[in-house]
């Protein structure tokens, strides 16, 4: 189900729970149509600082994030990756862009470079791969 459809179904009381980004949820939280229960990050998001994390709510070590990464095809020359990465990081560090991402999307920028991204993605694959295997989760073939 697409994010917009999920949110609309939740607001219409067709579903009783919703996991979504802070940016997606804040207009409904501010309007009083939904109530945040927990945050999935390791630390509290400044925009809903009064809402506890999952770890604080009795599940130590839990943390899950929506994240974005930039990838290149295997075999892309290292100098191309480094130049693109440096230019992208410089752009994202521009004050007006950082401000826009933080204020409208509640994004926390982590600009660690290719090796940090590789380690992060590898860790995410281990964590969520185990969840998929342990729970016999299969892709929807529809």
pLDDT one digit per residue (tens) for the chain, 142 residues: 555 565 665 555 555 677 778 888 888 888 998 888 998 989 998 888 999 999 999 999 998 988 888 999 999 999 999 999 999 999 999 999 999 888 888 888 888 888 899 999 999 999 999 999 999 999 887 7
Q: What gap in Å lies between CA 36 and CA 18, rounded to an integer? A: 9
Q: What is the radius of gyration, based on Cα positions, of the chain?
A: 18
Q: What gap in Å lies between CA 64 and CA 85, rounded to an integer? A: 25
Q: What gap in Å lies between CA 26 and CA 23, rounded to an integer? A: 6
Q: What pLDDT does residue 25 have?
A: 83
Q: What is the DSSP string of 61-107?
A: T------------TT--HHHHHHHHHHHHHHHHSHHHHHHHHHHH--
Q: What pLDDT does residue 29 have?
A: 87
Q: What pLDDT does residue 103 have?
A: 83
Q: What gap in Å lies between CA 113 and CA 82, rounded to an integer? A: 8
């Amino acid at each position: 189900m697409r994010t917009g459809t999920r949110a609309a179904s939740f607001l219409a009381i067709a579903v009783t729970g919703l996991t979504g980004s802070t940016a997606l949820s804040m207009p409904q939280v501010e309007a009083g149509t939904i109530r945040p229960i927990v945050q999935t990050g390791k630390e509290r998001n400044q925009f809903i600082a009064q809402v506890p994390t999952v770890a604080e709510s009795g599940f130590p070590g839990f943390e899950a994030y929506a994240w974005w990464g930039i990838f290149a095809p295997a075999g892309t020359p290292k100098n191309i990756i480094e130049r693109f990465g440096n230019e992208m990081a410089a752009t994202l560090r521009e004050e007006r862009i950082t401000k826009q991402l933080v204020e409208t999307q509640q994004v926390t920028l982590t600009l660690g470079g290719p090796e940090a991204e590789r380690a992060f993605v590898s860790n995410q694959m281990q964590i969520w791969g185990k969840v998929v295997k342990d729970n016999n989760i299969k892709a929807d073939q529809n």
